[in-house]
């Protein structure tokens, strides 16, 4: 959905207001500083796109160019170049904003998610494929945005408070919560007894605290929760042992998912993988029957393996 350009005018930036439906709600401070310096040196080269505010005479609402507008206000510019287009409907406004910004630099997923929630509320459309068509987003982005929206509003607020910072400075990042959401979902689906003990919001909050307390090595560590549960499903580890481990992981802030996985299930998975390799090795050895005389190197290697097996298996 393209936005046609209207007549070009020079407009006082103080007569322009922010578009509340801009999906790109948060801007990186450092990049704003760079743009501010550029505008100070050469001015605003790319016109803003605005429409006349139907509720305020001689006022305009931004459709595109919020960073340029913010920098112009900061610099005290008297006018900025702007294309004036007809006022859109509420839904058209949202969708045009999405389509304008979908071809630009990536913006935070939290921005996409909050605006997507408004699109869903106004249009009544919730299908992933249709939302992707309407907004110009990929289906993967729509799916991730909807998952992010499923976390508690209090957690969404924490993400928003840090969205203007560089990612290295953010504690409450979107990828953290996507990993937490996936871990919580598998716990609730596969370990209902744990879900009865802790509600969804509590698990999400407890897991987020690990990052806040700097007890989490990597946000991807929450994937080890799924591996833990798989160990119980495949009978590699007793289910009760896994349930106790997951409960401890939720209750104890200092526990890292990776450490719990290593303590409870890693050795079991290693043995499972080794057993599969042993079956393949056995088949290769069987293929040697009647194939001829074994080389000295192979006989020596097999003898060492036999000695190791005798040691591992003992008298049993």
Query: Is 27 in contact with 35 (CB distance < 8 Å)?
Result: no
Report the Cα 7 to chain-centroid distance in Å.
40
Q: Average model confidence (pLDDT) for the chain?
A: 88
How far is 110 from 105, CA to CA, in rounded Å? 15
* Helix (H) / strand (E) containing 313: helix 296-313
pLDDT per residue over 210-224, tens digit each?
Answer: 999 999 999 999 999
Please provide the CATH number assigned to the domain covering 8-149: 3.90.1530.10
- Report how far residue 191's alpha carbon sits from residue 242's, in angstroms, rounded to the nearest whole number: 9
**39 strand-pairing partners:** none
Mean pLDDT across 4-33: 77
Whole-number Å distance between alpha carbons of 307 and 59: 87
Which range among 32-36, 117-121, 130-134 shows the weakest confidence by mean pLDDT? 32-36
pLDDT category at 85 given cuts 50, 70, 90 is: confident
- What does the block give as tokens for 94? 């949202």
Q: Are 159 and 112 in contact (CB under 8 A)?
A: no
Q: Which two tokens stand for residue 294?
A: 């074994």
Take residue 167 and report the two structure tokens written for it. 């990612």
Share of the chain above pLDDT 90, in %: 56
Say if CB 93 and CB 64 are below 8 A apart. Answer: no
Query: Where do the H-state alpha helices sit in 84-135?
Result: 90-101, 109-123, 128-135
SS3 state at 111: helix
pTM, two decimals, is: 0.71
Q: Which of 201, 209, 197, 204 is nearest to 225 (CA)?
A: 204
Residue with tokens 């799924």: 226
Identify which of 92, 66, 93 has the alpha carbon closest to the alpha carbon of residue 80: 66
Segments making up each domain of the chain, as ranges = 8-149, 172-271
- The string of pLDDT tens digits covering residues 159-198 is 999 988 888 889 999 999 999 999 999 999 999 999 999 9
> Element (H or E) spanning 222, and its range?
none
Q: Render pLDDT for 101-110 as a digit per residue (tens, 0 to 9).
A: 654 556 788 9
- Rounded to 10 degrees, what is the CA torsion of 19, 64, 111, 160? -60
Look at residue 25 and tell me whether its pLDDT is greater than 70: no
Length of the chain: 316
Structure tokens belonging to residue 213? 């307390």
* CA torsion, ordered 170, 172, 226, 138, to nearest 10 deg: -80
User: What pLDDT band is residue 81 in, cutting at 50, 70 and 90?
Assistant: very high
- pLDDT band for position 46 (cuts 50, 70, 90): confident
Bridging pattern class, strands 8-11 and 80-85: antiparallel
Q: How far apart are CA 194 and CA 232, in angstroms?
A: 14
pLDDT tens digits for 289-301?
877 888 999 999 9
Query: Is pLDDT at 2 greater than 50 in this prediction?
Result: no
* Cα(120)–Cα(94) distance, integer angstroms: 11
């Amino acid at each position: 959905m393209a936005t046609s350009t209207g007549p070009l005018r020079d407009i006082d930036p103080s007569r322009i207001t922010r578009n509340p439906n801009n999906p790109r709600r948060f801007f990186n401070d450092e990049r704003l500083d760079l743009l501010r310096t550029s505008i100070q040196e050469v001015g605003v080269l790319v016109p803003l796109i605005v429409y006349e505010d139907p509720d305020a005479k001689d006022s305009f609402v931004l459709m595109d160019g919020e960073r340029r507008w913010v920098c112009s206000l900061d610099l005290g510019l008297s006018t900025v170049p702007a294309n004036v287009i007809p006022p859109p409907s509420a839904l058209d406004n949202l969708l045009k904003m999405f389509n304008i910004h979908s071809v630009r630099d990536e913006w935070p997923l939290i921005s996409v998610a909050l605006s997507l929630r408004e699109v869903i509320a106004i249009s009544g459309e919730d299908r992933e494929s249709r939302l992707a068509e309407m907004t110009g987003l990929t289906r993967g982005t729509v799916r991730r945005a909807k998952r992010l929206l499923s976390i508690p509003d209090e957690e969404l607020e924490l993400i928003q408070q840090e969205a203007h910072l560089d990612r290295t400075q953010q504690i409450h990042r979107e990828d953290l919560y996507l990993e937490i959401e996936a871990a919580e979902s598998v716990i609730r689906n596969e370990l209902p007894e744990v879900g009865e003990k802790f509600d969804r919001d509590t698990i999400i909050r407890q897991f987020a605290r690990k990052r806040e307390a700097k007890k989490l090595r990597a946000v991807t560590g929450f994937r080890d929760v799924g591996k833990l549960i798989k160990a119980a499903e495949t009978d590699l580890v007793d289910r009760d042992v896994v349930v106790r481990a997951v409960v401890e992981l939720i209750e104890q802030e200092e526990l890292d998912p990776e450490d719990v996985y290593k303590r409870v299930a890693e050795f079991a998975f290693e043995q499972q993988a080794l057993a599969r390799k042993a079956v393949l090795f056995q088949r290769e050895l069987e293929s040697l029957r009647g194939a001829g005389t074994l080389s000295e190197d192979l006989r020596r290697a097999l003898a060492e393996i036999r000695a190791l097996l005798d040691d591992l298996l003992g008298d049993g």
